[in-house]
Amino acid sequence: MKVELQNLTKIFPSRNKKSNEEVIAVNDFTLTIPDGKLVGLLGPSGCGKSTTLYMISGLQKASSGKIFFGEEDVTNVSPENRGVGLVFQNYALYPHMTVKQNILFPLQNLTGKDKLPKNEMIERAYEVARLVQIDDLMERKPNELSGGQQQRVAIARALVKMPRILLLDEPLSNLDARLRLQTREEIRRIQKETGITTIFVTHDQEEAMSISDMIIVMKLGIVQQVGKPQDIYDDPTNLFVAKFLGTPPINVFDGKISGGKLYIGEDAVLDVKGVEDKDVFVGIRPEGFVPSDKGEFNCKLNNVEVMGRDVSIVSTNSASLNPVIRSIVSSEYVKTIAEDQETIAYSLIPHKVFIFDKETEERICF
């Protein structure tokens, strides 16, 4: 099912009657999510991503704007009638019911023509339990399950009624690192197998990048960029998006453009034709550095971290806004670095270098 958000806005009124400070949690969100995609809503905490999810579920009412599922306007439809499945951050499994009863619960709520005979309900419950691989845990209570198992029960409960849209709120935040990797693959697999349009919320860019068909980066209630993970990484619209995506994070420098050349400190590092002279922020991805004797960009060398296939060169530059500059280069470069070497020169790969306006922090293309 296609999901369409039109100028969706959520304003929380101020708690304090004296001050009129309203909180705009989501500001004028317009987006179309194509059918059958896995979409990640990404942003730092407090950016309105969960509020957006809850508005899609209907648990939060939109202050203004519209929500469409397919062609149907569901803005004023109550959550009961939206036909969405929602997995809560702490799963909200009913503690007094077994796994089986938890999964059966949404089916038992069906009335009228949707009502299923009992054996069919149980069949459906087992079918979805097999899909998330918990069919051997059906008689357990939630408190007898591990976090990852509870997570899968929650997904099974959301899936069993065949929702039009599946929503996941920070689905992996309660899991340990290893389980997180495994579960995000599971979510991807389950989504592929069911083909249900799925929207999940996360603050972890790696999580969002690794499994999503499409990610939406938000900041302070405003959508920053929408697109395929690789496209956003390669082509960020502003400094926030560039900084938010990628590990190790992008290296940011103070720079200036003068006479068609980009300067970082005293070094003219790149030709930027057709851009007017001004002060800018320069973002360089870690893989954008190539150590070279003839390199234009001179830095002080700190140390080299060997990571096997790649090495990370840690250096410093007075124009850098990060404490250190981290570059990822192929390990064969290590041989070219002498023991007592104190400086290093890089040439830069132009499409890994982004320039941002100092005032607006918007990307300047060159």
Partner 1 sequence: MVENKHQWKAWIYLSPAIVLLLVFTVWPIINTLIMAFSENYSSLAGLGGQTFKFGLGNFQHVIGYKGFITCLKNTMLLCVLTVPLSTILALLISVCLNAIKPFQKLLQTIYFLPYVTNSIAIGMVFAAMFNIVGNISSQEQIITTAGIINNFLGLFGVEPINWINAGSSYWANITVMVVYIVWNALPFKILILLGGLQSVNKQYYDAAKIDSTPKWRVLTKITVPLLSPMIAYVVITGFIGGFKEYSSIVGIFDVGMGPAGDHGRLNTMVGYIYDSIKNQQGRASAAALILFGIIFVVTMINLYVSKKKTHY
List residues binding partner 1 (CB under 8 A): 57-59, 78-81, 84-86, 88, 90, 92, 94-97, 105-106, 108-111, 141, 143, 157-158, 161
What's the rounded Cα separation, in Å, for the pair 20 and 85?
Answer: 36
> Shortest approach of partner 1 to residue 191 CB, angstroms?
18
Nearer to partner 1, 140 or 352 (CB): 140
- Which tokens hold the place of 156? 């099974």
The amino acid sitting at 338 is A
Instruction: Using DSSP, state whether 59 is helix, strand or coil.
Output: coil
Q: Which residues pair with 4 in a beta bridge?
A: 32, 68
Residue 25 burial (CB count, 10 A): 22
Nearer to partner 1, 91 or 354 (CB): 91
Pick from 210, 192, 214, 319: nearest CA to 262: 319
- Note whether 34 and 192 are within 8 A (CB): no
Nearer to partner 1, 97 or 275 (CB): 97
Nearer to partner 1, 85 or 246 (CB): 85
> Shortest approach of partner 1 to residue 95 CB, angstroms?
6
Sheet with 3-12, strands from edge to edge, namely: 23-33, 3-12, 64-69, 72-73
> Shortest approach of partner 1 to residue 162 CB, angstroms?
12
> Shortest approach of partner 1 to residue 223 CB, angstroms?
25
Residue 31 burial (CB count, 10 A): 16
Nearer to partner 1, 26 or 86 (CB): 86
Q: How far is CA 189 from the centre of its chain?
A: 18
What's the rounded Cα separation, in Å, for the pair 286 and 288?
Answer: 5
Nearer to partner 1, 58 or 288 (CB): 58
Nearer to partner 1, 16 or 81 (CB): 81
- Which tokens hold the place of 56? 């899609």
Phi/psi at 114 (nearest 5 deg)?
-80, -10
What's the rounded Cα separation, in Å, for the pair 119 and 165?
Answer: 25
What's the rounded Cα separation, in Å, for the pair 270 and 184?
Answer: 40
> Shortest approach of partner 1 to residue 87 CB, angstroms?
9
> Shortest approach of partner 1 to residue 142 CB, angstroms?
10
- Note whether 110 and 161 are within 8 A (CB): yes
Q: Residue 115 contacts by C-beta under 8 Å, 6 or more apart in sequence?
A: none
> Shortest approach of partner 1 to residue 154 CB, angstroms?
9
> Shortest approach of partner 1 to residue 147 CB, angstroms?
16
Nearer to partner 1, 157 or 180 (CB): 157
